[in-house]
Amino acid sequence: MLSVTDLTVSAGPRTSPIGIVRGVSLGVDQGEILCLVGESGCGKSMTSLALMGLLPPGARVSGGSVELDGHDITHLAPHRRVRAGRGKLAMVFQEPMTSLNPVTRIGWQIEEAVRVHDPDANPTDRARELLEMVRIPDAANQLSAYPHELSGGMRQRVMIAIALACRPRVLIADEPTTALDVTIQRQVLGIIRELCDDLDMGVIFITHDLGVVAQIADRVAVMYAGRLVETGAVAPLFRAPLHPYTERLMACLPDPAARSKGFATIPGSAPRPGEIPDGCAFAPRCPRAQDVCRGGEVPVVRPEGGRRALCHFPLAEGETA
Ligand SMILES: Nc1ncnc2c1ncn2[C@@H]1O[C@H](COP(=O)(O)OP(=O)(O)OP(=O)(O)O)[C@@H](O)[C@H]1O
């Protein structure tokens, strides 16, 4: 349904551009949740903003394509997407308080989105229906609430309701539960899963939390230094990661049983755009790296099951980096 091919996002002068997102290819199907995971600064948000046509000033799509339902929307400005009826991608951000207008009732804010995207619908009825879809109790009365009168979890549900106003084919959720405590986080993840199934909608869920990935993902795309280094279905990827970065990232998950051993970390830090080394960008931090990793093209490994990894020395099942 959404097909991204070789997407490249650059910043800086056109004569010497800096690559932020480097040749990302991914697809999302109806009723599927794809989790995009990686360390801070690896390009997750810039990828999603490029898909939405909402890149900040200074950053631009410099290559590749984005197709939604077979239509090329790569360079379509947001208002043109709405006019062309191709605004069927919606996004939810991390902190709802910065997206909601604090001095306007939430009902009015949802109705505003309905008027733009669904002009034939009765705005108040549809706003109530959207609040019910995100399981806000007593939806009719909650329409008159101001954002500060709602909890963080309820505010994030309102943001999801606004995103659903355009009846999206694909919902992009950028760390929507990071600011929530674990019980509320679980509720919001449950709502996103249900909406994905009930509306047959694709979801790209961005997170750096592998615990969240395990709860919600159908497929996972692991990003490092602007590139997808591994993609695959969630269960085989967790059971036997192919890329040393994926395996090291998973080893960093806190394990209460091994508390006395302290926290695992990946030594060093991810390179910033403009400072990414040739060859495999993870090589300087990779325990398996050899000379061949430090220059030239990195081969694509494609074992069975639609999996894919970029690595000279992928891991066998049970092996650690
Ligand atoms: N307007 C901009 N111009 C140039 N570079 C930018 C701009 N905005 C962000 N960047 C850079 O792009 C890189 C990727 O940022 P991005 O926000 O996509 O990372 P991320 O993986 O989403 O991180 P986080 O998990 O912290 O949100 C970062 O190195 C950031 O400094």
Residue 271 Cβ inside 6 Å of ligand 1? The answer reads no
pLDDT at site 66: 95
Ligand 1 mutation target, pool 22, 24, 42, most atoms within 8 A of CB = 42
Quote the ligand 1 centre to 125 CA distance (angstroms).
39
Query: Ligand 1, atom 19: nearest CA belongs to which residue?
Result: 41
Residue 9 Cβ inside 6 Å of ligand 1? The answer reads no
Cα Rg of the chain (Å, integer): 21
pLDDT at site 87: 61
CA angle 182–163–8, rounded 5-degree value: 90
Residue 226 Cβ inside 6 Å of ligand 1? The answer reads no
Residue 59 Cβ inside 6 Å of ligand 1? The answer reads yes
Angle between helices 123-133 and 106-117 (to 10 degrees): 110
Query: Ligand 1, atom 14: nearest CA belongs to which residue?
Result: 43
Residue 13 Cβ inside 6 Å of ligand 1? The answer reads no
Q: What is the DSSP annotation of 213-275?
A: HHHH-SEEEEEETTEEEEEEEHHHHHHS-SSHHHHHHHHTS--GGGGGG-----SS-PPPTT-
Quote the ligand 1 centre to 283 CA distance (angstroms).
21
Complex ipTM: 0.95
Starting at the earlier edge strand, list the strands of the sheet with 18-28: 18-28, 2-11, 59-68, 71-72
Residue 270 Cβ inside 6 Å of ligand 1? The answer reads no
Q: What is the DSSP annotation of 116-172?
A: HH-TTS-HHHHHHHHHHHTT-TTHHHHTT--GGGS-HHHHHHHHHHHHHTT--SEEE
pLDDT at site 228: 97
Query: Ligand 1, atom 28: nearest CA belongs to which residue?
Result: 41
Residue 66 Cβ inside 6 Å of ligand 1? The answer reads no
Residues of the chain whose pLDDT is less than 70? 84-87, 259-261
Residue 274 Cβ inside 6 Å of ligand 1? The answer reads no
Contact 283, 296 (CB under 8 A): no
Q: Which two tokens stand for residue 204?
A: 């790209």
262 contacts: CB under 8 Å, gap ≥ 6: none
Give the SS3 label for residue 6.
strand
DSSP annotation of 306: S
